[in-house]
Structure 1
Amino acid sequence: MNEIMRVGLFAGIQIRSFIITTLCVLMIRSIVNMITVHFKCRGGIYPRSNVERFPVPDDKVSWSSEYKEYLPNNHTASSIRGQPWADPNIGEPGFNPQWNAMDGKVNRASYMGQYSIKGGYPLNPIGRTGITGRGVLGRWGPNHAADPVVTRWKRFENGEIEKDKLNNKPILQCVVIKRRDTGEWALPGGMVDPGEKLSATAAREFQEEAMNSLVMTDDQKVPLMEKFKKFFSEGDEIYQGYIDDHRNTDNAWMESIAYNFHDNSGSTVGALKLHAGDDAVGVQWVDINPDMKLYASHKEIVMLVYQKCLANFSHGNN
């Protein structure tokens, strides 16, 4: 290969890498831009209660839109009071939260930027939800979760990657769990413990909900943790921002950071038997496609991972 060909090949590789990176950045921006209006936390009965949300039309969601008739019910579930992971009620002695900042080990800053405080209460950055209070959420303001999107290529028994018959693209699969509270399929994520590293939360939640690690003996758990150590240290951050969650209120809302952990060869997590645990009643590998239905904003996150993995797919996979 002469020098000109080598230079041309190197330039081609650089251009391809630039295109893939640009596509991923654009996809992340499109997801961020998309979750600027919430739907699932407006109207109907608030989860795990008989409290009805006040109707919020599309043109009245924004706090900047005048809505003189807005008289939402106030609801904070009695079941969360006194829980170690939950805030006291606003106004209780000794509770002086530092909004929009790290408050000790509790992160009260939002991925959406500065949120407003009205009458001592934080306001949902997306807008009205038809109910005030905290509902069943532990924290006033942002409640941070981490969601692992664990993926593998679907393969035949001989190890060959299976292609979609309609578009001839490789079929990507991800792990989903069936939530105990709603019965919906979702990513196996969970809340970030105070002071916990976000990627560590994602790995822990996957092991608890998809591998049922909480009931394992130390003899079972140690080799599993060792096997997972490298795999879960190499995740790609996919998304951070607001989540359109049924539990959101005017004063408390879900935000998440999502990581993709891709088992390209299918020999690590992809080869293990899954066991539902913790808050899950079912767990399975599913084919990722535009028609899939998932909890909250999880489908949008999964589809972003799908596009990223396809963009990076090499026909050298086997």
Structure 2
Amino acid sequence: MWNLAVAARLAAVQQVHLRPVFKAKCVTFVSLMEIVKCLHLKARGEVYPCSEVLRFPVPDDKVDWAVPWTNYNPVDYTAPALLKQPSWADPPYRNPCGRTGLKGRGLLGRWGPNHAADPIVTRWKKEGGKTVTHNCSGKPILQFVAICRKDNKEWAIPGGMVDAGEKVSATLRREFGEEALNSLELAEAERQGVKELINLLFEAGEMVYQGYVDDPRNTDNAWMETVAMNYHDETGDSVGKLALHAGDDAGAVKWMDIEKEQNLYASHTHFLHQLVKGRNAHW
């Protein structure tokens, strides 16, 4: 049965996903049903990350909580490391996008939404000082800073969790500096210079997405939500010229062309698709 807390969460998610992707001329709206159909796939992966736990299989037509399923028997799993820590007082929630085949918190620290922030730093691909266009679409090619995650070797946006009491804007700056530029290992003078460039670029960002993420760590009771912001270096003269160095959480980092064939971590390909539509770039 749905309770008031679950209904409130679903209403909030519905409102979030009807936000415009950009405030400029190109406005894209994303409905909750599109999110369910497009994003709730990796959250049903057979093997739960960093474990040998198998999810209870959930077919596409049984994802929706509104569909009766008396035989649904999700596996109960919370990582042992989390069980050793004090539990937050949050009551168990129900995943707003449907069944995942696993209950508990898995690898996530909180019941319900676990908040992250994803900075999408972009520039136009250039050769010989000229912007490169794609042979088929004729549209300019957009590049973004991508990291290779150490835990699963998948390429991703260099984002991370929002610390308690931290503003999302601070998380976006911190995660990009730590994961893509390895700012923690820089000399103090160099670190300050990098910080100034990041602060300058991050003053003007565009929201690409906010809400539920199809993360492989999601469960029936805990899931990821994020704010994905685009910070675009139009001329390529600021962050676009910085040397990229992978931080502790990244195995590698590079400027990557944005293209349709990419299979990135979680919902990151979906975020980039929304971005290129807003900037009329190649997909």
Q: Distance in 1 between matches of 2:31 and 2:256?
A: 22
Residue 137 of structure 1 is matched in structure 2 by 108
Q: CA deviation at 1:43?
A: 4.2
- Name which of 240, 243, 246 aligns with 1:276: 246
- Name which of 170, 175, 190 aligns with 2:145: 175
Q: CA deviation at 1:130?
A: 0.4
Q: Are the counterparts in 2 of residues 43 and 56 from structure 1 also a CA contact under 8 Å?
A: no
Which one has a bigger Cα radius of gyration?
A: 1
**Shift in alpha-carbon separation, 1:23–1:61, aligned structure 2, 3 A:** farther
Q: Are the counterparts in 1 of residues 48 and 216 from structure 2 also a CA contact under 8 Å?
A: yes
**Shift in alpha-carbon separation, 1:261–1:206, aligned structure 2, 3 A:** same
Q: Distance in 2 between matches of 1:153 and 1:47?
A: 34
Matches for 1:206-221 after TM superposition, within 5 Å:
206-221=176-191
RMSD between superposed Cα atoms in Å: 1.8
Secondary structure of the residue aligned to 1:41 is: helix
TM-score, structure 2 length as denominator? 0.86
Q: Distance in 1 between matches of 2:188 and 2:110?
A: 33
Residue 261 of structure 1 is matched in structure 2 by 231
Taking every aligned residue pair, what percent have the same amino acid on both sides? Answer: 50
- Name which of 198, 209, 218 aligns with 2:168: 198
Q: Distance in 2 between matches of 1:306 and 1:75?
A: 38
Residue 49 of structure 2 is matched in structure 1 by 47
Q: CA deviation at 1:220?
A: 2.0
Q: Distance in 1 between matches of 2:24 and 2:179?
A: 34
Structure with more contact order per residue of length (Cα contacts < 8 Å, sep ≥ 6): 2
Q: Are the counterparts in 1 of residues 173 and 199 from structure 2 also a CA contact under 8 Å?
A: no
Residue 123 of structure 1 is matched in structure 2 by 94
- Structure 2's unaligned 5+ residue stretches are 1-21
CA deviations on 1:219-256 (whole Å, 9 max, x unpaired) are 22111111221211211111101100100001100011
**Shift in alpha-carbon separation, 1:163–1:32, aligned structure 2, 3 A:** farther
Letter in 2 for 1:35: I
CA deviations on 1:106-130 (whole Å, 9 max, x unpaired) are xxxxxxxxxxxxxx42111111100
Q: Distance in 2 between matches of 1:43 and 1:286?
A: 26
Residue 16 of structure 2 is matched in structure 1 by none
- Name which of 94, 99, 119 aligns with 1:148: 119
Q: CA deviation at 1:278?
A: 2.3
Residue 239 of structure 1 is matched in structure 2 by 209
Secondary structure of the residue aligned to 1:121 is: coil
Residue 265 of structure 2 is matched in structure 1 by 295
**Shift in alpha-carbon separation, 1:167–1:43, aligned structure 2, 3 A:** closer
Q: Distance in 1 between matches of 2:197 and 2:121?
A: 15
Q: Are the counterparts in 2 of residues 146 and 202 from structure 1 also a CA contact under 8 Å?
A: yes
Residue 14 of structure 2 is matched in structure 1 by none
Q: Distance in 2 between matches of 1:124 and 1:174?
A: 30
